Structure formats: structure tokens, C-alpha cells
Amino acid sequence: MSSPPVQSAFESSLNHNLDEVQGQIESLRSQLAESQRLATIGTIAAVIAHEFNNLLTPILSYSQMALQSACGDKPDMDLVRKALSRSFQSAQKAGKICESMLALARGESRRGAVAVQKIVDETLSVLARDPGKDGINLRVHVQPDLAVEGDSIQLEQVLLNLLINARQAMLGRGGSLTIKAALSEGGDVVIQVADTGCGIPEKLLPRIFEPFFTTKGTAQKGEARGSGLGLAICKQIVERHNGRIEVTSQVGKGTTFAITLPAAHGA
Ligand SMILES: Nc1ncnc2c1ncn2[C@@H]1O[C@H](COP(=O)(O)OP(=O)(O)OP(=O)(O)O)[C@@H](O)[C@H]1O
Ligand SMILES: [Mg+2]
């Protein structure tokens, strides 16, 4: 005798419900995959915009300076030439960041031995403003013949982000900004960026390398508000170079970032 029809109706309703639940799980799974994909694309776009913005700032400020002087009653051609050349240098650097990112996407490596002095000089040449104008005393001590193995454009991005943060930490108070680079006892290259700015409260130190963590919530003193991506980008680049980035800070005294990278020979 076949099983009672009541049971088969129950079974088929159960199977139907099961199919429905499985369908819902599938749909949720694909929605999750899509939102993760969009979040990744959103983060990549934010990173590119962030790094471009670092270089657009000097391009805009120096070209505006050149225009103002050129269109004024007494154009200062020396200033116009200097401002245009700095604006041009920053635009060139932005182009190189594009090339470096496209190469990364193609899986190409653009690494080689890079002189640390060159990384420092190139980065200083694209600062949006002369530190002296904000009462910041810049000191640079780079041990001669120091070289690291890496992508010079990416390493310059790291240094630029650290210098921008240091400047922002000293705005309105002046102070000194020191860039030091030397070989450690273990034979690694250590690049330090030390400022005498506002410092970072101890409880925030573990969070500053998190993407989107910022204390620059609102625009201040004519500066753009922060997105909290600078240090996350620095950390990612340094770690991709088999290095590490560390911070020490004291509120009211200042902050030092130290980057340790494997040394290269023969830059
Ligand atoms: N030199 C510094 N002195 C004091 N605080 C700093 C310094 N560098 C970083 N910080 C702190 O770490 C936070 C994160 O820095 P990060 O560079 O990642 O983002 P941001 O500067 O806020 O924004 P963005 O770099 O995207 O413009 C800053 O908001 C600030 O609180
Ligand atoms: Mg920053």
C-alpha cells in the first residue's frame, strides 16, 4: 500500500519551502558578492583619488600663483617661471603614479635599486607649499649612498603622505620637521619623518593605519578634510616592499614615523 497522501503533501510542501530558502540564500550570496565587489572598486577609486589629490594641490596652488603674477600690473617673471616649473613637476609625478598603477594592474614589476636621497629630493619638489612659509624648519639628513630596492614612485607616495600629515600637525604652531635616513645595525634602511606637531593620543595610535580612520573630520584653516587613507596607503606600500612602518608620538610634543626597508646595493 502506498504512503498516506497527507504525508506526501507535507513532503512536497517541505521540499518547496526548502527550494525557496535555497533560492533566497543564493540571491543573498550574489548580492553580498556584488556589494563586496563594489566596496573594493570604491576603495580603489578612493585610493587613486587620494593620491591624485596630493599632487593636484601643488598643481593648483602653483599655477594659480603663476597666473596671479602674470596677470598682475607688474608680472614677476622669475616667480612665474618657478611656480610653473613646480606645477609642471607635480603634473609629471601624477602621470608617473598613473603609469605605476597601470603597471601594477598588469602585474608588472617596476622595482630596482633607488637612492634614498632621490626619493627625498623628488618628494620635497612636489610639496604644495614651502614649509618655511608656515614657520616650519625643514631639516634633511640622509646618509650618503643609501639605497632601497623598490618602486621609486610608490616610495615617494609614502614620503609625501607623511610630510603632508606632519605639516598639518604643525599648522598654526610652526616647529621643525626632520627627515633622517640611515642604515640600521641590522643592515636595513630606516627613513624617519619627525615633526614637533600636535602629537597623537596614545589611545588612537592603534587605529591610525586603519583605512578611513581620520581625526580631520571637518575642513580647518583652509585645508581639505581628511579621508583617513594616507597612512593606510603608506602601510600597504611599505609592506609590499617587505618593510614596516612604525610610529611613536607624544601629545603636544610631536610624532615620528619610521619606515624600515631592506637595503639595496648599487643605486
Ligand atoms: N604627523 C602626525 N601628527 C599628528 N597626527 C597624525 C600625524 N599623522 C597622522 N596623524 C593622525 O592619524 C590620522 C590618520 O592619518 P591619515 O594620513 O591616514 O589620514 P588623514 O590625514 O586624516 O586624511 P588623508 O590622509 O586621507 O587626507 C590623522 O587623521 C591624524 O589623526
Ligand atoms: Mg594624511
- DSSP class per residue in 116-141: HHHHHHHHHTT-SS-GGGGTEEEEEE
> What is the torsion angle, in degrees rounded to the nearest 10, for the CA atoms of residue 61, residue 63, residue 66 and residue 69?
-60
Would you say residue 70 has pLDDT above 60?
yes
- Give me ligand 1 centre to Cα 113, in Å: 29
Would you say residue 66 has pLDDT above 70?
yes
- For residues 35 and 31, give the distance between their C-alpha atoms in angstroms, rounded to a whole number: 6
| Closest by CA position to 189, among listed 154, 238, 235 | 238
> What is the torsion angle, in degrees rounded to the nearest 10, for the CA atoms of residue 202, residue 208, residue 210 and residue 213?
110
Q: Which of 66-70, 84-88, 100-104, 254-258 is the least confident region?
A: 100-104
Binding-site residues, ligand 1, Cβ < 6 A? 50, 161, 165-166, 169, 195, 197-200, 208, 213-216, 226-232, 255
Contacting residues for 191 by C-beta, under 8 A, at least 6 apart: 116, 119, 159, 179, 180, 181, 258, 259, 261
Nearest CA, atom 17, ligand 1: 230
> What atom of ligand 1 comes closest to residue 225's alpha carbon?
27
Would you say residue 266 has pLDDT above 60?
no
Q: Which of 134-138, 152-156, 211-215, 224-228 is the least confident region?
A: 224-228
* Residue % of the chain over a pLDDT of 70: 94
| Closest by CA position to 127, among listed 74, 193, 67 | 193
At residue 13, the pLDDT reads 86
> What atom of ligand 1 comes closest to residue 193's alpha carbon?
1
Would you say residue 116 has pLDDT above 80?
yes
| Closest by CA position to 151, among listed 71, 225, 242 | 242
> What atom of ligand 1 comes closest to residue 199's alpha carbon?
4
Q: Which ligand number lies closest to the CA of residue 171? A: 1
At residue 31, the pLDDT reads 84
Sign of CA dihedral 222, 228, 231, 237: negative
Q: Which ligand number lies closest to the CA of residue 213? A: 1
Three-class secondary structure of residue 249 per DSSP: strand
The string of pLDDT tens digits covering residues 137-162 is 999 999 999 999 999 999 999 999 99
Three-class secondary structure of residue 113 per DSSP: strand
If you write DSSP's letter for every residue of 180-196 in order, what string do you get? EEEE-TTSEEEEEEEE-
Burial 95-116 (b: 16+ CB within 10 A, else e): ebbeebbeeeeeeeeeeeebbb
Would you say residue 37 has pLDDT above 90?
no
Q: pLDDT band at 103, cuts 50/70/90?
A: confident
Nearest CA, atom 11, ligand 1: 208
Nearest CA, atom 27, ligand 1: 226
Helix (H) or strand (E) holding 57: helix 5-71
At residue 219, the pLDDT reads 58
- Give me ligand 1 centre to Cα 192, in Å: 16
Q: Which of 4-8, 31-35, 114-118 is the least confident region?
A: 4-8
- Give me ligand 1 centre to Cα 1, in Å: 78
The string of pLDDT tens digits covering residues 19-35 is 999 998 888 888 888 77
